[in-house]
Amino acid sequence: MPTSVAGSKLTSRDAGFTLIELMIVVTIIGLASAVVVLALPDPRGRLRDEATQFALRTRAAHDLAIVTSRPVSVWVSAGGYGFDARRGGEWVAMSEKPLRVTRWSKGTEAVPASGGRDRILFDSTGSADRPMDVVLHRATENLTVRIGNDGRVKVGA
């Protein structure tokens, strides 16, 4: 029979953990794991960050229309958005990095008012041909990006 450090004999009851002790340890580990998982950020990023990125790019397109004195359009669909410039009498997709065609991140979609593809046009003065609201939707969250007639872009307006 095993002996303790002090020389007293241990019984089989003293040699291990009880089922209750093991269940408590497993429960604590489970709760700690749940807290860690809930604290992790969404790998897609926040919906507000995606809306802000869209708003900044739209504002850049507005500024580009003024600087180049050429119309620039922004189109939005359920799957993404892009920017076109008027060249040679037709709309040409922009290939510059910040204004390339961009897909919404996984799980995010826009809800265009027309149901298909919405387009807004900035003229050479920066005015938009009409106001436009872009509603971004992800899971249970919605966020609106509002583009005004004057070219202002607001997130969550």
pLDDT at 4: 55
105 shares its domain with 145: yes
Same domain (yes/no): 74, 142:
yes
Say how far apart CA 27 and CA 35 lie, in whole Å.
Answer: 12
- Tell me: do 67 and 138 sit in the same domain: yes
Q: Does position 148 have pLDDT exceeding 90, yes or no?
A: yes
**pLDDT tens by residue, 88-147:** 888 899 988 889 999 998 889 897 766 678 999 999 999 999 999 999 998 888 899 999
Q: Both 115 and 71 in a single domain? A: yes
Together in a domain, 55 and 35: no
Q: Is the same domain home to 136 and 86?
A: yes
Helices and strands counted in the chain (H then E): 2, 9
Considering the domain architecture, whether residues 84 and 105 belong to the same structural domain is answered as yes
Q: Which of 25, 73, 79, 46 has its CA nearest to residue 156?
A: 46
* Number of domains within the chain: 2
pLDDT at 22: 83
Tokens representing 145 are 């990006």
Residues 7, 51, single domain; the answer is no
Q: Are residues 132 and 93 in the same domain?
A: yes
Confidence of residue 9 (pLDDT cuts 50, 70, 90): low
**Looking at the structure, do residues 18 and 56 belong to the same domain, yes or no?**
no
Other CB atoms within 10 A of residue 135 CB: 16
pLDDT at 36: 77
Specify the 3-state DSSP secondary structure of 98: helix
* Percentage, residues of the chain above pLDDT 70: 83
Do residue 53 and residue 110 come from a single domain? yes
The predicted pLDDT at position 63 comes to: 93
Is residue 1 located within the same domain as residue 62? Answer: no
Q: What is the CATH number of the domain that holds 127?
A: 3.55.40.10
Range of the domain at 71: 47-155
72 pLDDT more than 70: yes
Q: What pLDDT, on the 0 to 100 scale, is given for residue 58?
A: 94
Is the pLDDT higher at 24 or at 15?
A: 24
